[in-house]
Amino acid sequence: MMADPVLVGSLGALVVVILIFLGMPIAFAMMFVGFSGICVLSSLDAAMPVTASTMWEVASFYPYTVIPLFIVMGSFAGSSGMTRDLYSSFEKWSRRVPGGLAIATIGACGAFAAVSGSSVATAAAMGTVALPEMDRFKYDPKLSTGSVAAGGTLGFLIPPSIGFVVYGMLTEQSIGKLLISGIFPGILLMFAYMSVVLVWVKLWPDSAPRNLEPVSWREKFAAVNGVKEPLFLFLFVIGGIYAGLFTPDEAAAVGATLLLALSFIKRKLTWPALFTALTESVRISVMVLMLVAGANVFSYFMALSTIPVQAANWVTSLEVSRYVIHAMILFIYLILGCFLDAISMMVLTMPVVFPIILALHFDPIWFGVIAVLMMEAGLITPPMGLNLFTVAGVAKGVKLETVIKGAAPFLVAIIFVAIILTMFPKIALFLPNMMRG
């Protein structure tokens, strides 16, 4: 007697969750359950080649080289001293603004994110520069650590973003268009974060110092030099993708080469730092590619179970607005962010969520921005928010509980931006729709 596909698929999804909570790596849990499920619903002869071909395709597909290259870009950017220059530039212009150092931190995080595809790297690099300064001026530790943790999430939205690359790999959407779609939403989120700081300081004036030394216009204009390098790299790399001059992987290679040359010219890249950058790139790339491979095998199993199709049909049959379903999906992501890291959350949910999005006739590029935005929320949501742990590790003498409290108000900004993008999707789609090539 043939097993009920929906029952097998539901049990498989439950087993994945159990295995993850028991400590099995998510990639292996999804691959094991996917392989076993294909055996049950089809045969061992079908499961073996599916798993083998998936592993080979993910490991050998040339466009996926964009992942290690973007990671190397971020490592080289940190080694070149770019973080300190960026922070100094923004600090000179925002010093007299209430909460100016926190605002400068968020601005510098946004600029550094434009040459780094990693939010954790952005938070770590900027935290080592900004936190001692805010501590020296007696900033409330909640405000200082919260602004660094939140600012670091911009690395997941502002291109180059590993989040968009993974989403594009899972959903077979244009990675180039996805990267470009994050520009305006990333800028919007950065200003939303800055607004949170202004409101915070307005409500609790003692959380940030006042009347800092004034900065002359000459110093302000001189400080602009610290922004020139990352701005040039961003325009060259992302502008090249937008104009159709580079594919995303070619742009990542060009950016990594330029940053490597810049680091050597400045004599700030040592051999140990180069070795660390390359080994970290390999480690993160293997982790991401294994997650994608596991997700693809699991997706094949889900397709055999018919759960995604039936879920999409059931959702579209509901007599409610599609935006109600959209809001439910966002809420689920917000809850999942408490327990899963961003990439894992994406690979686990896309096999079921993406068919629903297509059935509801939402633009897949636009939803990619929304999905990445909600993954950002997971980076500062306890107890699994990676940026929270990163900042707690960088900040000396600050408890994790303090960082969590400091990051909480910035979650409101993320939800606010998600609502704005839902009301005005052209914010995300304007640039991708104008792309060449």
Supply the pLDDT for residue 211: 56
pLDDT at position 437: 54
Answer whether 276's CB lies under 8 Å from 29's CB: no
Rounded Cα distance between 431 and 388, Å, is 32
- Reference 63, options 161, 155, 168, 179; nearest CA is 168
Match 């969590």 to its residue by tokens.
Answer: 404
Whole-Å CA distances, 329 to 16, 26, 216, 371, 409: 20, 21, 49, 9, 21
Residue matched to tokens 């969520």: 353
Residue whose tokens read 């939140």: 150
Confidence at residue 77, expressed as pLDDT on a 0 to 100 scale: 77
2 or 122: whose pLDDT is higher? 122
d(CA 157, CA 371): 10
In the block, tokens 């095998």 appear at 297
Taking Cα atoms as reference points, which of 205, 237, 193, 233 lies closest to residue 412?
193
Residue 332 confidence (pLDDT) above 60? yes
Q: What is the pLDDT of residue 201?
A: 93
Helices (H) and strands (E) in the chain, counts: 22, 0
Q: What is the reported pLDDT for 212? A: 66
Q: Is the pLDDT of residue 266 over 80?
A: no
- How far, in Å, CA of 112 to CA of 126, rounded? 8
What's the CA gap between 284 and 361, in Å, rounded?
A: 34
**Rg, the chain, Cα only:** 22
Question: What pLDDT does 2 receive?
Answer: 59
Split at pLDDT 50, 70, 90, the class of 145 is very high
% of the chain beyond a pLDDT of 90: 31
Say yes or no to pLDDT of 1 above 70.
no
Average pLDDT over residues 348-369: 92
Q: What is the mean pLDDT of residues 406-411?
A: 94
The token pair at 338 is 């408490």
Domain ranges of the chain: 65-433
pLDDT of residue 337: 80
pLDDT reported for residue 181: 95
> What is residue 140's predicted lDDT score, i.e. its pLDDT?
93
pLDDT tens for residues 60-74?
877 778 888 887 887
Q: What is the DSSP letter of 130?
A: H
In this predicted structure, what is the pLDDT of residue 417? Answer: 96
Residue among 75, 354, 349, 98 at smallest CA distance from 212: 98
Q: What is the reported pLDDT for 113?
A: 85
Write the DSSP string, 266-330.
TT---HHHHHHHHHHHHHHHHHHHHHHHHHHHHHHHHHHHTHHHHHHHHHHHSSS-HHHHHHHHH
Q: What is the pLDDT of residue 150?
A: 93
Are 357 and 311 spatial neighbours (Cβ–Cβ below 8 Å)? no
Q: For 29-49, what is the mean pLDDT?
A: 91
| Range 263-302 burial, b when 16+ CB lie within 10 A, else e | beeeeebeeeebeebeebbeebbebbbbbbbbbbbbbbbb
Contacts of 161 (CB under 8 A, 6+ apart): 117, 155, 179, 182, 372
| pLDDT digits 0-9 by tens, 409-421 | 999 999 999 999 9
pLDDT digits (tens, 9 = 90+) for 282-296: 887 888 888 888 888
pTM: 0.86
- Contact call for residues 180 and 432 (beta carbons, < 8 A): yes
Return the exposure string of 118-137: e unless at least 16 CB atoms fall within 10 Å of the residue's CB, then b. Answer: bbbbbbbbbbebbbebbbee
At 175-226, the pLDDT tens digits run 999 999 999 999 999 999 999 999 999 999 889 876 567 777 788 788 788 7
CA angle, 383 then 385 then 388, to 5°: 100
| Predicted confidence (pLDDT) at residue 405 exceeds the cutoff of 90 | yes
Gap between the Cα atoms of 204 and 120, Å rounded: 28
Higher pLDDT, 420 or 229: 420
Give tens-digit pLDDT for 94-129.
Answer: 877 888 889 999 998 888 888 877 777 788 878 888
Query: Which tokens hold the place of 207?
Result: 């959380």
Buried b (16+ CB within 10 A) or exposed e, 19-31: bbeeeeebbebbb
Maximum CA pair distance of the chain?
Answer: 82
- When the pLDDT of each residue in the chain is averaged and rounded to a whole number, the result is 86
Q: Which of 303, 307, 294 is nearest to 344 (CA)?
A: 294
Q: Would you state the pLDDT for residue 436?
A: 63
Give pLDDT, residue 242.
87
Highest mean pLDDT among 343-352, 363-372, 382-391: 363-372
Q: Which residue has the higher pLDDT, 121 or 401?
A: 401
